[in-house]
């Protein structure tokens, strides 16, 4: 009798816990509702200083041969005033505005008007109309995946111009680098402001909007989840992929062309940076459909963080190694170059295989093989805002059994390789690995906080099964 009573009590408690978990996860797992003081302080700091950081890095290269300390020393010792540095900085020019306008318009045309044809002849490539993940409001968006073809068309035209038509110099990007920075800032801020306004006045999907009540937080982290113009122009997919990531490889090519123009040769370090970052960019477009399942698209709302970040931060700071090598051409010895190549390729391999394992596992609902074996996983459930319960699975084998974010570890190895290609004379090219370590560690914590609210006790079982985040045995 007592045993029966205990069992009934346990059942009731379990039911109550489940209700609580469900309540806690409803509407909570998309994004933090309450803004703590640390988040607010970080956001205010970034809104004020991120544009200055970008300017400082680019200006240091243009005026101080990429030394980060020299401008500060000049200012502190009174050798130079802020106004001297500012007066030497190139202003916005109509030429740069024209180039930038044509560039963005061209990418919009490629994105909107040419349905994907690559998936028709490239075996294994997933393109065309694809579905995103279920949003917290239970919506499933459709996307036209045609980034690979946009990248190919853009690069074919670039090389055709460089080697045949000569309409413009391949150094055009380097030659207008600072005037283009002002254009990118104008677009980044305009897009973020329009996203904020739309969120208040005519959101694409009102149920997927989140208002924290804090203006700065909402501006930074976004209100709308998937802002769109019409049926197909998706802000997140467009601004993250193009113009920013398509431009990444073109920017590097322009830097290589500048090295050739200045020194009569392209150094092996510049080739390494072009090749390794080229693989990363190409991988992004080859796997654009997979990108629909990443945090940027599945969980982040569209605010200044993505809008301005994609237009300014990404093209200007992710390409610092190439820019640095224009000012400091580094010719690496064969062993050093080979070591960097191996590190970069190994990092890329881990990054790709880890991402692929999760993607395959989720796409096939666990009916696949990971490292030749049936995958191991933890069953979990979560609830959307309308109270619908969904079931999911968390993979615990393959690289996902080594650490909970081993894809980030691979990414960090690749990032370190780009930086090492620049030698050890200056800290500036190492900004990327420092930034990526902060970004991905923070992303780990942010994602785990969200997953914990989403999956509740199931997430605890998962973290017990896979105890480390990035490095097995360490963190
Ligand atoms: P992930 O691709 O790791 O996605 C995390 C999500 O995957 C979680 O929110 C969860 O979503 C799901 N998930 C977590 N653990 C498991 C598991 N064990 N099994 C199945 N699903 C799981 O993260 P990101 O989107 O951040 O990163 C994608 C890639 O992009 C990474 O390789 C990263 O390195 C790279 N990246 C690069 C950046 C750059 O600037 N260069 C910036 C950011 C990322 P769910 O709610 O569906 O369960």
The full set of domain ranges for the chain reads 90-331, 332-474
Q: Is 462 exposed, middle or buried (0-12, 13-18, 19+ CB in 10 A)?
A: buried
Pairing of strands 140-145, 128-134: antiparallel
> What is the Å distance from ligand 1's center to 294 Cα?
5
Mean pLDDT of 26-32: 50
- At 16, the pLDDT band (50, 70, 90 cuts) reads very low
pLDDT at 206: 81
pLDDT score for 24? 39
**pLDDT over 90 percentage in the chain:** 74
pLDDT band at 145 (very low <50, low <70, confident <90, very high): very high
The per-residue pLDDT for 465 is 93
CB 351 less than 6 A from any atom of ligand 1:
yes
Pocket lining: 154 vs ligand 1, CB cutoff 6 Å:
no
Least confident of 197-201, 240-244, 344-348, 399-403: 240-244
Higher-pLDDT residue of 473, 329: 329
Confidence of residue 18 (pLDDT cuts 50, 70, 90): very low
Measured CA to CA, the distance from residue 121 to residue 128 in angstroms comes to: 12
Q: Is 412 in the pocket of ligand 1 (CB under 6 A)?
A: no
Q: Long-range contact list for 445-454, CB < 8 A, 24+ apart?
A: 447/295, 447/299, 447/405, 448/404, 449/32, 450/29, 450/30, 450/31, 450/299, 451/29, 453/24, 453/25, 453/28, 453/29, 454/25, 454/28, 454/29, 454/382
Q: What mean pLDDT comes out for the span 29-50?
A: 80
- Hey, CA dihedral for 95, 184, 242, 110, is it positive or negative? negative
Q: What is the pLDDT of residue 229?
A: 92
Collapse the DSSP code of 240 into the 3-class scheme (helix H, G, I; strand E, B; otherwise coil) and give the result: helix
| Ligand 1 and 438: CB distance under 6 A | no
Report the alpha-carbon distance of residue 231 to residue 392 in Å, rounded: 28
Calpha distance 225→236 (Å, rounded): 9
Calculate mean pLDDT across residues 423-427: 95
Chain segment 208-237, per-residue pLDDT in tens: 888 888 899 999 999 999 899 988 999 999
Cis peptide before 243 (omega within 30 of 0): yes
Residue 266 pLDDT exceeds 50:
yes
Q: Decide whether any atom of ligand 1 lies within 6 Å of the 208 Cβ.
A: no
Q: Assess whether pLDDT exceeds 50 at residue 66.
A: yes
Contact 443, 295 (CB under 8 A): yes
The whole-angstrom separation of Cα 275 and Cα 348 is: 12
Confirm or reject: Cβ of 318 under 6 Å from ligand 1. no
> Measured in angstroms, how far is the CA atom of residue 326 from the centroid of ligand 1?
34
| Structure confidence at residue 345 (pLDDT) | 98
Average pLDDT of the segment spanning 244-252: 96
- Tell me what pLDDT residue 36 has: 81
Residue 430 has pLDDT above 70, yes or no: yes
Closest CA to 381 of 20, 22, 12: 22
For residues 380-404, average pLDDT: 88
Cβ atoms 386, 137 nearer than 8 A:
yes
User: What pLDDT band is residue 297 in, cutting at 50, 70 and 90?
Assistant: confident
Q: In testing the pocket of ligand 1, which one of 358, 390, 435, 455 has its CB within 8 Å of the most ligand atoms?
A: 358
- Give the rounded percent of residues in the chain with a pLDDT score beyond 70: 93
pLDDT for 420 equals: 97
* Segment 196-211 mean pLDDT: 87
Q: What is the pLDDT of residues 352-362, one digit of tens each?
A: 999 999 989 99
- Pure H helices in 202-317: 215-221, 235-239, 246-263, 268-286, 288-291, 295-298, 304-308, 314-317
Give mean pLDDT, residues 400-426.
96
- Residues 324 and 337: their CA atoms lie apart, in Å, by 17
Burial of 63 (0-12, 13-18, 19+ CB in 10 A): middle
Distance (Å) of CA 324 to CA 66, 256, 274, 328: 6, 11, 13, 6
Q: Out of 316, 318, 407, 410, give the residue to mutate to test ligand 1, the one with the largest number of ligand atoms within 8 Å of its CB.
A: 407
Tell whether the model's pLDDT for residue 9 goes beyond 50. no
Tell me if 406 CB under 6 Å of ligand 1.
no
What is the per-residue pLDDT for 136?
79
Q: Which residues contact 387 (CB under 8 A, 6 or more apart)?
A: 22, 26
Q: Give the per-residue pLDDT at 19.
A: 39
pLDDT-based confidence at 32, cuts 50/70/90?
low
Residues facing 373 on adjacent strands? 370
Q: Residue 443: CB within 6 Å of ligand 1? A: yes
Q: For residues 150 and 147, give the distance between their C-alpha atoms in angstroms, rounded to a whole number.
A: 5
Task: Compute the distance from residue 291 Cα to the ligand 1 centre, in Å.
Answer: 9
């Amino acid at each position: 009798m007592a045993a029966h009573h205990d069992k009934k009590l346990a059942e009731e408690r379990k039911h109550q816990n489940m209700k609580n978990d469900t309540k806690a996860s409803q509407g909570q797992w998309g994004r933090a509702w309450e803004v703590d003081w640390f988040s607010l302080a970080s956001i205010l700091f970034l809104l004020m200083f991120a544009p200055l950081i970008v300017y400082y890095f680019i200006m240091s290269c243009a005026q101080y041969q990429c030394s980060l300390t020299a401008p500060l020393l000049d200012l502190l010792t009174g050798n130079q005033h802020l106004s001297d540095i500012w007066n030497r900085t190139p202003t916005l020019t109509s030429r740069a505005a024209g180039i930038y306008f044509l560039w963005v318009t061209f990418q919009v045309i490629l994105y909107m008007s040419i349905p994907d044809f690559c998936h028709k002849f490239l075996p294994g490539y997933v393109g065309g109309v694809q579905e995103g993940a279920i949003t917290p409001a239970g919506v499933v968006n459709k996307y036209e995946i045609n980034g690979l073809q946009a990248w190919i068309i853009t690069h074919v035209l670039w090389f055709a111009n460089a080697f045949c038509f000569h309409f413009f110099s391949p150094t055009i990007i380097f030659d207008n680098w600072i005037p283009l920075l002002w254009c990118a800032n104008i677009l980044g801020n305009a897009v973020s402001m329009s996203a904020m306004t739309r969120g208040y006045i005519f959101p694409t999907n009102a149920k997927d909007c989140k208002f924290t009540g804090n203006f700065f937080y909402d501006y930074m982290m976004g209100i709308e989840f998937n802002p769109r113009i019409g049926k197909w122009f998706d802000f997140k997919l467009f601004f993250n992929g193009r113009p920013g990531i398509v431009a990444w490889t073109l920017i590097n090519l322009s830097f290589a062309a500048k090295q050739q123009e200045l020194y009569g040769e392209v150094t092996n370090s510049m080739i390494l940076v072009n090749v390794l970052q080229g693989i990363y960019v190409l991988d992004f477009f080859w796997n654009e459909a997979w990108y629909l399942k990443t945090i940027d698209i599945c969980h982040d709302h569209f605010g200044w963080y993505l809008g301005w970040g994609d237009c300014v931060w990404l093209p200007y700071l992710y390409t610092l190694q190439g820019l640095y090598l224009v000012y400091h051409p580094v010719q690496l010895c064969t062993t050093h170059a080979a070591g960097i190549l191996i590190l970069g390729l190994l990092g890329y391999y881990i990054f790709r295989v880890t991402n692929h394992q999760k993607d395959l596992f989720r796409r096939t609902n666990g009916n696949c093989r990971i490292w030749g074996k049936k995958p191991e996983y933890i069953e979990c459930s979560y609830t959307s805002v309308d109270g619908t319960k969904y079931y999911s699975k968390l993979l615990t084998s393959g690289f996902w059994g080594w650490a909970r974010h081993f894809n980030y570890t691979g990414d960090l190895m690749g990032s370190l390789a780009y930086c090492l290609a620049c030698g050890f004379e200056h800290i500036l090219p190492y900004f990327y690995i420092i930034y990526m370590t902060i970004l991905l560690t923070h992303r780990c914590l942010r994602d785990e906080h969200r997953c914990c609210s989403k999956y509740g006790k199931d997430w605890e079982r998962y973290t017990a099964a896979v105890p480390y985040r990035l490095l097995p045995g360490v963190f």
